[in-house]
Amino acid sequence: MDELLKEVTARAQVWLNGNYDAETKAEVKKLMEAEDKTDLIEAFYRDLEFGTGGLRGIMGAGTNRMNIYTVGAATQGLSNYLKAQFASLPQISVVIGHDCRNNSRKFAEISANIFSANGIKVYLFEDLRPTPEASFAIRHLGCQSGIILTASHNPKEYNGYKAYWNDGAQMIAPHDENVITEVLKIKNVDDIKFEGNPELIEIIGEEIDNVYIEKIKTLILSPEAIERNKDLKIVYTPIHGTGIKLIPKTLREYGFTNIIDVPEQNVISGDFPTVVSPNPEEPAALAMAVKKAIETDADIVMASDPDADRIGIAIKNDKGEWILVNGNQTFLIFIYYLITKWKELGRLTGNEYVVKTIVTTEVMADIAIKNNVEYYNCFTGFKWIADVMRQNEGKKTYIGGGEESYGFLAEDFVRDKDSVSACALIAEITAWAKDNGKTLFEMLQDIYIEYGYGKEKGISVVRKGKSGAEEIAQMMADYRNNPPKEIAGSAVKTIKDYQTLKMTDVKLGEISNLEMPATSNVLQFFTEDGTKISVRPSGTEPKIKFYIEVRGEMKTRADYDAAEAAANLKVEAVRASMGV
């Protein structure tokens, strides 16, 4: 501990002595003078890692914090890489977008100055905008790259920095690793060009909004159902985030006339004053919207997270109670509807495909197989869905793709998950279901009857700080070295290790290769009774994540409660087996 404190103090002293602003130096001095050195250690024990997903961390002074200097180093490193990669272009250009978080605008403007100081043209959004719109703008404006300042649904103390390539998708190899190399070369604050060139910074806004919304409107598949149900009661909340900028407008442009807002949550704020966590996965984040739905007898509740790339929905069950629909179920509703309508409209030619991530429900795969639609399994994270789209560009037709973590993309003109189009689409599906004499809940039940019932449960075990990271690493090592032989009374038949890209047939003892574009620290266990457990450390938070899926069957809608009850018992048995 003495050695660590000595090292940390030396790193902090560099900031006190270096060319840093007075406010930052005062904060560092306060950390150094505090009796309890925990905060000092957390702020300086390492550099905030510019990983394959960019930066994400707690805001504050220090090498392990989000601040103008860590953001500056990231932008300078990215600038250097872009200049090397696109040296033959007369003008390199980038898009900068940001969300509602504290300091997001400040970080965006500082990044614009750094890019422009390096001779790079910047299209800077005038104000906060949804992440998917920035992805769209990169493609629409023909840019080479782009960044978005957001920490998605993390708590308010966090901010983040996502880097995108010229196709509008987050970077993957080799570009992500090459940018990391360039960022690591920035050893000194004086290496960062903070003095911007205003002539190279162009402010963008409404003109991009309009083109983007017009493109989203081309996704409509049931215009008659929308027209007949245009007064559908839709409660929408942006949870203090960027969705307020475009989602109500897009719903109205789609033809819906009865958008009910939650005024307290329309307030744009990085403090997220009405929620503990601005995460549409959390029941508490949707509580105010559900209350409004009860008051107004609404048809559906929808929410977007702070940067408006993820969607959460709530619907009424067969007892008239409002329930939250999880990410897997929302995904099933989207894919079922899209494939059904594409088939009805004669758009399925045998050359279409859908994409899911390896931790997302297997029921989706069953829907695709039964309808002769090709499906892809990719790593967690939308950059991998975008990679599948990139590989198939001009060869196959994309229908949709999504993941269990509340992200869906129904279009190919964006390359990241999109709650703007997803909110419009779920409203259309609600109208279509109503037109067909059913609720969304009954539609979900019908999917389970036709394709098999599935129940998913995500469990996150939080382990903070340096010791937490070590504990998570040890947990992964233990699962690898001593894999379970049975889980909840069912024998493990297959183990997939995406770090080694090996699949083990436990019964036969045979090992085969997994065909994936990269390695990833994920383990999966499949049992004889159809249970699937995936384990992985989070790439953006101090967590180890467990994804449990158990299977069952339903013959009628009346079987739903029994299937749910049996699945809940099974999930608990799986948790006990896995020690979580």
Give me the pLDDT at residue 391, please: 97
Q: How far apart are CA 110 and CA 314, in angstroms?
A: 39
| Structure tokens, 477 | 């090592």
| Structure tokens, 99 | 């969300």
Residue of higher predicted confidence among 546 and 53? 546
CATH architecture of 232-451: 3-Layer(aba) Sandwich (3.40)
Residue 541 has pLDDT above 80, yes or no: no
The CATH T-level fold of domain 453-578 is: TATA-Binding Protein (3.30.310)
CATH 3.40.120.10 range(s) for the chain read 46-204, 232-451
Contacts with 491 (C-beta within 8 Å, 6 or more apart), sequence order = 485, 506, 507, 527, 528
Which pLDDT tens digit goes with each residue over 346-363? 999 999 999 999 999 999
Q: How far apart are CA 361 and CA 364, in angstroms?
A: 6
CA dihedral 133, 135, 141, 144 (to 10 degrees): 160
Contacts with 457 (C-beta within 8 Å, 6 or more apart), sequence order = 547, 548, 549, 571, 575
Whether the ω angle into residue 174 lies within 30 degrees of 0, i.e. cis, is yes
The correct answer on CATH 3.40.309.10 for the domain covering 46-204 is: no
Give me the pLDDT at residue 353, please: 98
Give me the pLDDT at residue 53, please: 79
Which pLDDT tens digit goes with each residue over 280-332? 999 999 999 999 999 999 999 999 999 999 999 999 999 999 999 999 999 99
Which pLDDT tens digit goes with each residue over 110-124? 999 999 999 999 999
Give me the pLDDT at residue 99, please: 98
Q: How far apart are CA 12 and CA 6, in angstroms?
A: 10
Residue 542 has pLDDT above 90, yes or no: no
Give me the pLDDT at residue 52, please: 73
Q: How far apart are CA 245 and CA 267, in angstroms?
A: 11
Q: How far apart are CA 262 and CA 237, in angstroms?
A: 6
> Residue 472 belongs to what H/E stretch?
helix 465-481
> Residue 54 belongs to what H/E stretch?
none
Residue 343 has pLDDT above 80, yes or no: yes
The distance in angstroms from the start CA to the end CA of the chain is 30
Q: Chain-wide mean pLDDT for the chain?
A: 96
Give me the pLDDT at residue 153, please: 87
The residue among 214, 208, 263, 197 whose CA lies nearest residue 235 is 263
Residue of higher predicted confidence among 469 and 10? 10
Position 453, amino acid: Y
The three state secondary structure string of 75-124 is: HHHHHHHHHHHCCCCCCCEEEEEECCCCCHHHHHHHHHHHHHHCCCEEEE
Residue 70 has pLDDT above 70, yes or no: yes
If you average pLDDT over residues 414-430, what whole number do you get?
98
Residue 1 has pLDDT above 70, yes or no: no
CA distance to 117, 249, 392, 444, 515, per residue, from 19 (Å) = 18, 46, 48, 59, 48
Give me the pLDDT at residue 435, please: 97
Give me the pLDDT at residue 149, please: 98
2 falls in which pLDDT band (50, 70, 90)? confident
The residue among 330, 482, 509, 458 whose CA lies nearest residue 406 is 330
In contact, 552 and 563? CB cutoff 8 Å: yes
Give me the pLDDT at residue 50, please: 84
* Sign (positive or negative) of CA dihedral 365, 421, 392, 394: positive
Residues marked active site are found at 152
Q: What percentage of the chain carries pLDDT values higher than 90?
A: 93
Position 249, amino acid: K
CATH 3.30.310 range(s) for the chain read 453-578
The residue among 357, 580, 358, 359 whose CA lies nearest residue 472 is 580
Secondary structure class of 301 (helix, strand, coil): strand
Query: Dihedrals φ, ψ of 451, to 5°?
Result: -115, 0
Which pLDDT tens digit goes with each residue over 543-569? 999 999 999 999 999 999 999 999 999
